[in-house]
Amino acid sequence: MADTVPKESDPNTERVTALFSSARILLDQHHDARDSIIKASRDITAASKKLIFALQRLKAAPDAQHGWVIRVVSVDRDIIALETKIREIFASVEQLLSGLGAWRYQRQITGAIQEFIEAITFREYLYEGRIMTYINIKKTLPSSILLTYEDYVLGLFDLTGELMRFAISNIHVASSLNGAIQPSAVSLNIRLVLQTLLTEFSALRIPQRSNFSPTEYQKKLSTLSASVSKVEKAVYSLSVRGSELPADWSPDDEPAI
């Protein structure tokens, strides 16, 4: 029997094999990172929605110095816990969203960032009476998380719907002088905030290279305009005819104005 002579390895074949092995590892890492970010995005979105729901359950009480103050209720603990959870989820994918990953996975995380902006700005407004700036929101996120101006603006658009709902559910207070129904300080302030945002967003010019869709932007403006009209109508109606309403009147009653 003839001796078996092993074939010499082909250097070119080894290089190609190594190249494909390296590409497979990188592709697997990419898919793993993408799946992790998608899961984190869903969890952040769900927690942010729960946070918004908890905030809508709060009630604003009249306050002589600041106009209104949020009453301390049991849901405050839920709000703190949800904010902590959201920050922890962001931190868990911070490394994946750093460097080139900030843009590579932006599409997977952008919805969660907008939902978080909606929630955190709503909380800031109710407790502090102000709208958070882009810089202040950026400070609430891990330093490696990319916050685009588009996400900030779209998050504020979503916030306006929550402000409108809060204004309507906290639309009135009874006057300390004669007990007549009158618009609450928080509803009056929300009216002003919504009017200001509508004016500013209407004047905004969208660059051609922006990620904004002109059609989507116009729909957002239309929705904001409807929210402004709803709050204006409720506030003005109470201002004109509030004295005609019973002291125990609520927005859930049959419309009397």
Domains and CATH numbers, the chain: 27-135 (1.20.58.190), 148-257 (1.20.58.200)
Evaluate the CA torsion angle 68, 72, 75, 80 in order and state its sign.
positive
Instruction: Give 67's strand partners.
Output: 63
Beta strands at 181-183 and 172-174: parallel, antiparallel or unpaired: antiparallel
What is the spatial distance between Cα 164 and Cα 197, in angstroms, rounded to a whole number? 12
Q: Which residues pair with 173 in a beta bridge?
A: 182
107-112 average pLDDT score? 94
> In the structure, what pLDDT confidence band is assigned to residue 179 with cuts at 50, 70 and 90?
low
Query: Which among 106, 105, 129, 132 is positioned nearest to 119, based on CA atoms?
Result: 132
77 or 211: which carries more pLDDT confidence? 77
Residue 256, pLDDT score: 44
Least trusted range by pLDDT, from 136-140, 177-181, 183-187, 248-252: 248-252
Q: Chain-wide mean pLDDT for the chain?
A: 85
pLDDT computed for residue 239 by the predictor = 79
For 254, list phi and psi in degrees, rounded to 5.
-60, 135
Report pLDDT digits (tens) over 181-238: 788 899 999 999 999 999 999 998 877 666 777 788 889 999 999 999 999 999 988 8
Q: CA–CA separation, 82 vs 3, rounded Å?
A: 73
* 30-71 pLDDT, tens digit each: 788 999 999 999 999 999 999 999 999 998 888 777 777 887
* Higher local confidence (pLDDT), 245 or 118: 118
pTM, 2 dp: 0.83
